[in-house]
Amino acid sequence: MSRKTLSSLLYAATILFGVLAAVTLVPYSTKMVSDLGYHTVCPFAPWSTLTLLFLGWLAWTVRGYVNQQSTS
């Protein structure tokens, strides 16, 4: 896999994790109340949100490392 392709995939993963983290906080009519005190799409919010944000940060960091590697 080329460096450019890997960088693009990691960038897409970063965006995907960020969007999914935001979705976990959206109010939604369910029977379970999240730890935030209201009904959300994901009953594990804010822990799932923090996990997804961490995975997005990790993908962004690995992408930066891949982009900094020399071409030799």
Output helix, strand, coil percentages for the chain, rounded to the nearest 5. Answer: 60, 5, 40
The residues spanned by each domain of the chain are 3-67
pLDDT value at position 31?
Answer: 86
Rounded distance between C-alpha atoms, residue 14 and residue 34, angstroms:
25
Q: Which tokens belong to 16?
A: 């995907």
Q: Which residues of the chain have pLDDT under 50?
A: none
In DSSP notation, 39-65 reads -BSSTTTTHHHHHHHHHHHHHHHHHHH
| Average pLDDT in the chain | 91
Q: What are 40's strand-pairing partners?
A: 27
